[in-house]
Amino acid sequence: MAFVTEADAAKAVAEKVARSIHAKPDLVLALPTGRTPLPLYRELVRRHLSEGLSFKRVHTFNLDEFRGIGGDDPASFRAYMDRHLFSKVDLDPARIHFLDGLAENVKQECDRYEAELRQVGGLDLAIVGIGGNGHVAFNEPGPAVVPWTHLVKLDRQTRISNAPLFGDDPSRVPLEAFTMGLETILRAAEIALIATGSSKAEILAQALEAEITPKIPASLLRKHPRFSVYADEAACSKLESRALSVLI
């Protein structure tokens, strides 16, 4: 679905989340970080405060976390989520699930996350963004995908784009991160990709219109039968197909 502005796209995703919670109050959500979902989180907070949207029974699983920093480090994705959503809605802290960047035993930490997901019945709705190189969560382009939650070495480009969290200094961005795998995400009942801004136009066109390949991890999302894209006009500007061209 294409929207004129990023605020319109965010409202549509928030509407989807609200409807999903209404249908299943113990919804299991996968959540992204970065610049893109900020308008969505603002809209969810607004709906909570002014329309009574309640997250009391919702489970959240964030897609990824840097390795080597704790959740109380302001640069962590956990701290980002606390700032933008968790501290502002009525989520039950026991239902907030996060990868621990300080976990020493990598395999044990990845297994724990997958086990917690299984315990709650798997993801109902995975909300994801797209990196400039086509990454989803922190699944970087490569010859093959790693299906389940794992540790990744971050691309140079990814570290540069995450530098704002680290005082604009890419050298301070951790070299590694934990991330859900593509299969973890593809097992969700439904996937919503948000892409906004002209900086995403080229990669969105490749992800949606070029071949499905692990070299563009986001292209693999097209294998999912309930995969939708919420993009603004700027992000759609390089798409050839008219599929996303009807602006709402």
Task: Decide: is 76 part of the binding site for ligand GLP (CB under 6 A).
Answer: no
Instruction: Please give the single-letter amino acid code of residue 182.
Output: L
Q: 């029974």: which residue's tokens?
A: 57
Q: Shortest distance, CB of residue 72 to ligand GLP, whole angstroms?
A: 19
Q: Annotated active-site positions, please? A: 64, 133, 135, 140
Instruction: Please give the single-letter amino acid code of residue 51.
Output: E
Rule CB under 6 A: which of 136-175 touch ligand GLP? 137-138, 158, 162
Encoded tokens for 236: 């759609």
Encoded tokens for 242: 């008219």
Name the burial class of residue 242, with classes exposed (0-12), middle (13-18) and buried (19+) by CB atoms within 10 angstroms of its CB: exposed
Compute the distance between CA of residue 175 and CA of residue 151 in angstroms, rounded to an integer.
Answer: 10
Closer of 27 and 203 to ligand GLP (Cβ): 203
Single out the residue of 39, 131, 134, 217 in contact with ligand GLP (rule: CB under 6 A). Answer: 131
Task: Decide: is 6 part of the binding site for ligand GLP (CB under 6 A).
Answer: no
Name the residue number minimizing CB distance to ligand GLP.
129
Query: How far apart, in Å, are the Cα atoms of 226 and each of 40, 56, 83?
Result: 20, 26, 30
Stretches 29-37, 85-93, 140-148, 180-188: which one binds ligand GLP (CB under 6 A)? Answer: 29-37
Q: Shortest distance, CB of residue 217 to ligand GLP, whole angstroms?
A: 11
189 alpha-carbon distance from chain centroid? 15
Asked if 196 contacts 6 with a C-beta cutoff of 8 angstroms, the reply is: yes
Closer of 36 and 76 to ligand GLP (Cβ): 36
Closest CA to 84 of 123, 150, 31: 31
Number of residues this chain uses to bind ligand GLP (CB under 6 A): 14
What residues are paired with 241 via a beta bridge? none
Closer of 16 and 24 to ligand GLP (Cβ): 16
Task: Decide: is 63 part of the binding site for ligand GLP (CB under 6 A).
Answer: yes
Single out the residue of 2, 6, 29, 33 in contact with ligand GLP (rule: CB under 6 A). Answer: 33
Single out the residue of 11, 27, 28, 36 in contact with ligand GLP (rule: CB under 6 A). Answer: 36
By CB under 6 A, name the binding residues for ligand GLP: 32-36, 63-64, 129-131, 137-138, 158, 162
